[in-house]
Chain A
Amino acid sequence: MIAESAQRFQALEAQAQRLMATFTRAGYEHVAPSIIQPATMFLDVVGESLRARTYVFTDPDGDELCLRPDLTVPTCRLHLARHPEGAVPARYCYNGSAFRYQQGGDTSAHPREFRQAGIESFAAADRERADAEVVALIVEAVRDAGIGSFQLRFGDLGLFRALLGALSLPERWRRRLQHQFWRPEAFRAELNRLTSAEALRAPAAMAEVIDRLDPHEPAAALSEVEAYLERANLTPLGTRTLPEITERLLAAAADARETPLSAATANAIESYVAVKAPARAAVRELNQLLRGHRIDLSGPLRAFQRRLDDLDDAGVITDDAEFSAEFGRNLEYYTGFVFEILVPELGPKSPLAGGGRYDSLLAEVGAPAAVPAVGSCIHTERLLAVLQGTAA
């Protein structure tokens, strides 16, 4: 888009004012974080794939800066500048531009400069209540703006974590499955590996070292690996340390001795991932599924139910909301509940609004410990396009 008309600009501004009025009425403080952000810290958090879409530049002092690709990280930084300890309850709202390179060029469906109107809620003790509050407020804002019918979609990465926690398997396998969760192919490959004794045996290249390592003797393993490197005349190079190398070799040694994951357990995990149903029916489905596998997930499922109840109390009708266990896979900084608002005019690939829980982000941005956080933002150009009947 080369330019927008003054008329369109005014329309977006007027719409933003209504959205912000809804947010501030609910007790969210209106903030305006800087558009230009330090690149290094920002990009360490969002990762290299978003970096490819971030406008990064160097100023005359040699500092690497970027145009913010979203407003969540800047809002986290603003919060920490005020409260370095992090865990101080606070609720913020914002409306402002974000910038992303668009592979297919700068188009009205995917502009490189767009405005996000959103809310963030930090350090609320009752997580489910805070989740419900954020969804309810975004729904209210969208309704006030004039959207009559829409679909809610939920996911919950916390439920998956709880499922892994309830299964009997080594902690390192839990970590791996959780880490791979957002990449379906790698996830399936890892699950296959864990169920095969043959695949679990050490890769041939490493067998010589791994055979010497006792998973229960990490200290001895460290000197064993050091001695091996010396014998092989391999000098240490770079900043990656010997303990890091040993940790992975020990994990491989432990895997080689481990009983493979039972087909039933792998099956339970796969069945969970496949669950997709209206939210309340999904809870029943999950209860049934897990009972069959004798897995107790009643606590986390009750929490899920409570979130739905809170939503109903707040006037959000959850009957038609869809739960998909897979949803949230492609959004890496989320750690728990996720949601999006879909409208037919935009289709399932361009949600009108979306958000979720990201309990580790504040610590990554500099808080001394993890701080509960949940937030959401509305794609304001999409909202306007739907209201004006110009959505593609």
Chain B
Amino acid sequence: MSEKLILALPSKGRLMEQCATALARAGLSVAKSGSARGYRGEIGELPDVEVNFVSSSEIAHFLHQGTAHLGITGEDLVRETIPDCEARVGFLKRCGFGQADVVVAVPICWIDVGGMADLEEAAQIYRRVHGRPIRVATKYMNLTRRFFAQRGVAGYRIVPSLGATEGAPAADLAEVIVDITTTGATLRANGLKVLSDGVILKSQANLIASKLAPWSDGAQRAKAALLARLASWEWAPSAPPQSKR
């Protein structure tokens, strides 16, 4: 493996645009190398950095496997995808974009359910009445299981949902959903409300370091150079400002 630092950046969508803008504001020009359709890139100001453009969820896998040193992607995806993630990655900086809350939402007409404790009781009654556990539609299976276990909610089943999760209750595919929301408008438009203690994670895009990547001296130096350029970005709470490496 080369001495270069591999930085994984989102390859499409809003997150890609926001990433490019934020890096440009920090004086870094990211350019695709080779053909315009290629998935490799470079940063003019940082010759020791090699950019890999991949999908946001793939970035989490890259960090997990150590095939990228650094990556910018949503905290939600990283916490969902990487088991025991604190041991495998470090959250370095918050990017200030890509904000989204991962929340537990139920139909607004459930006037008896305001919080997670109510949900647990409603789930018990549901099982008795319907002969099956209450269903939770989500693409965040691991975050959901962890959060529900912490809050003592046990009697439920996850229904994996790959898109349009907010429509699951109306389509009778699930009773409850766990999904991301920014303003809650989409949830409300679908007749859903967020539980009072149902915010699982306040997520945003983060600059994240893989602890499993091969950290050569060159990669360490490139990381320090990149962080120096991103000095105005807020440190992630789990990563106190670091002294020079």
Contacts and interface: CB of A to CB of B under 8 A. Distances in A.
A332 B156 CA distance: 14
Contacts of B74: none
- With a 10 A CB-CB cut-off, give which of B84, B117, B125 has the most chain A CB atoms: B125
Contacts of B149: 49
Interface in A232-246: 232, 234-241, 243-245
A248 B117 CA distance: 12
B129 interface: yes
Nearest to B118: A248
Interface stretch (B38-46, B102-110, B200-208, B216-224): B102-110
Interface string A175-200: 01001100101100000000000000
Interface in A110-136: none
A52 interface: yes
B157 interface: yes
A329 to B, nearest CB: 12
Interface stretch (B93-101, B167-175, B228-236): B167-175
B130 A245 contact: no
Interface of B: 83-84, 107-114, 117-118, 121-122, 124-126, 129-130, 132-134, 141-142, 145, 148-149, 152, 154-158, 169-170, 172, 174-175, 191-192
A237 B109 contact: yes
B83 A103 contact: yes
B43 to A, nearest CB: 36
A235 B191 contact: yes
A205 interface: yes
Given A103-B84, A240-B175, A179 B169 contact: no
Given A49-B149, A234-B109, A248-B122, 18 more contacts: A47-B133, A47-B155, A51-B145, A176-B121, A203-B114, A205-B114, A206-B111, A229-B109, A237-B109, A237-B169, A237-B191, A238-B175, A241-B129, A244-B126, A247-B125, A248-B118, A249-B111, A249-B112
Contacts of A9: none
- With a 10 A CB-CB cut-off, give which of B110, B126, B169 has the most chain A CB atoms: B110
Contact of A52 (B109, B142, B172, B192): B142
Contact of A51 (B155, B158, B169): B158
Given A44-B133, A51-B158, A183-B152, A238 B124 contact: no
Contacts of A49: 145, 149, 154
A338 interface: no
B31 to A, nearest CB: 40
A185 B122 contact: no
A103 B83 CA distance: 8
A52 B175 contact: no
Contacts of B158: 48, 51
Interface string A194-218: 0000000001011001000000000
Given A234-B108, A234-B109, A240 B122 contact: yes
B6 to A, nearest CB: 25
Contacts of A236: 107, 109
Contacts of A57: none
27 contacts: A44-B132, A48-B133, A49-B145, A52-B145, A186-B152, A206-B114, A209-B111, A225-B111, A234-B109, A234-B111, A236-B109, A237-B108, A238-B169, A238-B170, A238-B174, A240-B107, A240-B122, A240-B126, A240-B175, A243-B129, A244-B126, A245-B109, A248-B113, A248-B118, A248-B121, A248-B122, A332-B154
Given A44-B133, A235-B191, A244-B122, A228 B154 contact: no
Contacts of A342: none
A43 B117 CA distance: 22
A103 B175 CA distance: 29
A200 to B, nearest CB: 14
B172 A239 contact: yes
A38 B212 CA distance: 37
A252 interface: yes
A293 to B, nearest CB: 28
Contacts of B125: 244, 247-248
- With a 10 A CB-CB cut-off, give which of A43, A176, A234, A238 has the most chain B CB atoms: A238
Q: Which 3 A-B pairs have the closest CB atoms?
A: A237-B107, A248-B112, A238-B169
A241 B109 CA distance: 10
Given A49-B149, A245-B112, A332-B154, A239 B83 contact: no
B110 A240 contact: yes
A183 B120 CA distance: 12
A255 B110 CA distance: 19
Contacts of A229: 109, 111
Nearest to A234: B109
Contacts of A179: 124
Contacts of A47: 133, 154-155
B129 A244 contact: yes
A129 B80 CA distance: 48
Contacts of B112: 206, 245, 248-249, 252
Contacts of B169: 237-238
A176 B113 CA distance: 16
Interface in A309-351: 332
Given A48-B148, A248-B122, A249-B111, A238 B154 contact: no
Contacts of B132: 44
A186 B109 CA distance: 26
